[in-house]
Amino acid sequence: MNNLTIVGKKIPKRDAPLKATGSAVYIQDLKIPGMLHGKILYSKYPHARITGLDTSMAEKLPGVRAVVTASDMPANFRIGVMKDNPPLKTGKVLSIRDEIAAVAAISPEIAEEALSLIKVEYEELPGTFDPLEAMKEGAPLIHEEAKSNILKMPWKLVCGDVEAAKKESAFIVEDTFSTPWVTHCCLGTSGCVAQLDAKNNLTLYSNTQIPSLAQNDYIEALNAFGLKGKRVRIVQSVIGGAFGSKLDTYAYEYIAILLALKTRKPVKIVFSREEEFFATSPRQCTITKISHGCDKEGRLTFREMEMVLDNGAYTSWGATTPSVMMLPISSLYKVPNVKYVAKCVYTNNTYSQAMRGYGNPQATFAIESSLDQLAEKAGIDPYELRLKNANEPGEITPQRFKITSCGMKECIDEVVKRLDWKGKKGKGGNRGVGMASLIHVGGGARVYKSDGCGTIIKMDDFGKVDVFTGASDIGQGSETIIAQIVAEVLGIPIDDVNVINNDTDICPWDVGVHASRTTFVAGNAALGAAKKIKAQILEIAAKLLEEEPASLDIKNGVVFSVKNSEKTIPLGKALRKLHYTLGGNMLMAEYFYDPANENFDKEFKGNLSVSYAYGAHGVEVEVDRETGKVKILNYIAAHDVGKAINPMLLEGQIYGGGLMGLGYALGEKMIYEKGYLKNGNFLDYKMPTVKDIPPVQAVIVETDEKDGPFGAKGIGEPGLVPTAPAIANAIYDAVGVRIKDLPITPEKVLAALREKEGQTHK
């Protein structure tokens, strides 16, 4: 490990020059000869009965090639996790993003004009916009056939005996926390081009983050259209952000396929910024009741949580985030007794989707805020409470997670040291420090039956390699990481490694970009294939050098004997000896890596991931008592990453995650009023900008994960998980008010300060 030449180095992202020079081809840039442009007509009301629909005027508009409605879709075809979402709606609409009709035309402008010519008559219906109301008996049903607004999803985890633990606890706190809808804010909006060949095989150009799973979804769709046994190819454009938003297939994609079938032309649908806000799915909003207890020494005795999630009108992965929330709920710190129940509730709001952290930020906000309350009640410094209960290597948590490497204590120590915690905690002057920790899956999560990824490598006569990986690069830099791993194993310059990662025809299967799995899982797949190639090289070279393969290694494109430094042969020369001979050969290898993690059992227990990532964030804030505005003076983000394969990319993940967490903590919220989105644009939706970036120190803690490629763990999601509670805790330390409802806007801080001071703002 000390001899690493490429792994562990700060190597710039491979796609940086393309992106910096404007030559990256995003879905927006893609043009295919004969391509038409599709546009979608959405519902005018969040809840209404469609009483009339007339597309005849739109059809007559010159340049329009097709107008489609629900009647053009296969009758029972539904998408979504609960198969509750017809891509084109008829009868009733259930949210303002409901798709009613769509148009394909020779230009986007004509398509847009055609939409305005479609006449829809509605009978508006009263809507249900509050999940607590929607849960009540007798509430109007969103989906009548479902019999209840509460989704039939058994989110319940019980570990140990919480009731007994309560009785034995010295200190108990209980409170309620809530989080808003926030959206991914991908700078590259969603889009696709659907193209069918003469035999109705489909190519979908897309910015999906799940090419292999999307492929299956479209195969099902073609089946629904009566087109059995067709081939589906997914070609990914350069992806301008995904963060979970592109973890599912969407109505617009099926509409594009329908329009392509109708017109026999490629059809492109690309979302406008406004559509990206209202017609993609945000992080689900939550209301969480939490109770924590500890003994006299501050050892945690139990954690109990009840959660309600506004599911919106349809189901996507947002409805399943309670499964991943269970990870911090059961296993962030050592807690012997845990109980968690969550309810996802249909409303006439927008429906939710996966987003970086996948429920973890919501759960951790409640847990880490509550822990500070418990520390206060128990009279223990919050950092000491955390350290006392911190996870450790070798632990098996109540939910049966097997902790291998764990640098949680080191991360807490780094925060305490670098933030001057002891010097600054509780010192007043409107300044305060706060911290929060995190646990997350560190290398995939077995949420499907496979968590695998495949890799194929071929090597040319000069030692240059092409790597076909299932792993999608959604901006996180997996292309660079995989190139580093392969170059390191093969002892070749990184520029000799070409990574192909955007085409299901070429790239082996992969379950998709989620669960911070790519470096770990795709990295291991690349490692496996590269090792097979290396073994072949050493075997050839051993014959040429008259050595044992085990005595040989490769560095900088030269095979050498570790025993006799004079025995060397340039890699290319060995390869050409192998190739240019009778019965010649060239090196190719393939490898499929599926980690030894477990699906949950029926009680939601099992070792979901083969490794877990840890971290602790600490912040120092200053609160302006006049305005309520919170300023971040210092931000320490310490992460246990196993091994940093590329510290530059890793820091990028930490900075990016932290900034996303900052937006979640202090400013971002999708404001839905009675089902209508009120701030669906970058002017009104307060994403942090460059001026909001605080001073951040990214601290890398290396723990050498035994199953990780070169010891690495995943870092894609963790960066944003503890930000909000760390800030909330710091505000409390600074001014003694605790904001329990994200985002922590100046108005809320000011109101809390005034309430605390016994004033009423009039």
Q: Which residues bind a second copy (CB under 8 A)?
A: 17-18, 21, 23, 29, 33-34, 197-199, 201, 215-216, 219, 229, 231, 233, 448-450, 452, 454, 456, 458, 460-462, 464, 466, 468, 493, 495-496, 498, 500, 505-506, 508-509, 579-586, 588-590, 592, 594, 596, 598
Contact by Cβ (8 Å): 591, 532 = yes
In the complex with a second copy, the residue whose CB is nearer, 99 or 598, is: 598
Q: Which amino acid is at 74?
A: P
Q: What are the DSSP E strand ranges found in 232-378?
A: 232-236, 267-270, 286-294, 300-312, 337-346
Q: Structure tokens of 747? A: 């108005």
Rounded to the nearest 5 degrees, what angle is found at the Cα of 172, between the Cα atoms of 168 and 175? 145
DSSP at 397: -
Spatial strand order in the sheet of 48-54: 92-93, 48-54, 119-124
Spatial CB neighbours of 265, under 8 Å, sequence gap ≥ 6: 34, 35, 36, 65, 104
3-state secondary structure of 49: strand
Q: Which amino acid is at 533?
A: I
Contact by Cβ (8 Å): 317, 344 = no
Q: Structure tokens of 202? A: 């489909």
Shortest reach from residue 451's CB to a second copy, in Å: 9
In the complex with a second copy, the residue whose CB is nearer, 388 or 579, is: 579
What span, in angstroms and rounded, lies between the C-alpha atoms of 611 and 395?
Answer: 12
Q: How many CB atoms lie within 10 A of CB 600?
A: 18
Shortest reach from residue 700's CB to a second copy, in Å: 28
In the complex with a second copy, the residue whose CB is nearer, 159 or 222, is: 222
Q: Structure tokens of 16? A: 């940086």
What span, in angstroms and rounded, lies between the C-alpha atoms of 87 and 75?
Answer: 11
Shortest reach from residue 70's CB to a second copy, in Å: 29
Q: What are the DSSP E strand ranges found in 419-492?
A: 431-441, 453-459, 465-469
In the complex with a second copy, the residue whose CB is nearer, 81 or 146, is: 81
Spatial strand order in the sheet of 465-469: 497-500, 465-469, 453-459, 588-593
* List of long-range contacts for 224-228, beta carbons under 8 Å, 24+ apart: 224/74, 224/76, 224/77, 225/74, 225/257, 225/258, 225/261, 226/74, 227/200
What span, in angstroms and rounded, lies between the C-alpha atoms of 672 and 678?
Answer: 6
In the complex with a second copy, the residue whose CB is nearer, 420 or 505, is: 505
Contact by Cβ (8 Å): 636, 419 = yes
Q: What are the DSSP E strand ranges found in 253-299?
A: 267-270, 286-294
In the complex with a second copy, the residue whose CB is nearer, 42 or 509, is: 509
Shortest reach from residue 583's CB to a second copy, in Å: 6
Half-sphere exposure of 655 (CA within 13 A, CB side): 15
What span, in angstroms and rounded, lies between the C-alpha atoms of 103 and 668?
Answer: 33
In the complex with a second copy, the residue whose CB is nearer, 298 or 452, is: 452
In the complex with a second copy, the residue whose CB is nearer, 219 or 224, is: 219
What span, in angstroms and rounded, lies between the C-alpha atoms of 110 and 189?
Answer: 21
Residue 704, Ramachandran bin (φ over 0: left; ψ between -120 and 50: alpha; else beta): left
In the complex with a second copy, the residue whose CB is nearer, 14 or 184, is: 14
Q: Structure tokens of 636? A: 């320490």
In the complex with a second copy, the residue whose CB is nearer, 70 or 521, is: 521
Peptide bond into 154 cis (omega under 30): no
What span, in angstroms and rounded, lies between the C-alpha atoms of 84 and 251?
Answer: 12
Give whole-number Cα distances, 51 to 48, 91, 124, 678, in Å: 9, 8, 10, 27
In the complex with a second copy, the residue whose CB is nearer, 117 or 507, is: 507
Contact by Cβ (8 Å): 624, 395 = no
Q: Which residues pair with 673 in a beta bridge?
A: 676
In the complex with a second copy, the residue whose CB is nearer, 590 or 741, is: 590
Closest CA to 613 of 578, 569, 657: 657
In the complex with a second copy, the residue whose CB is nearer, 114 or 232, is: 232
Buried b (16+ CB within 10 A) or exposed e, 45-72: bbbbebeebebeebeebebbbbbbbbeb
What span, in angstroms and rounded, lies between the C-alpha atoms of 302 and 338?
Answer: 6
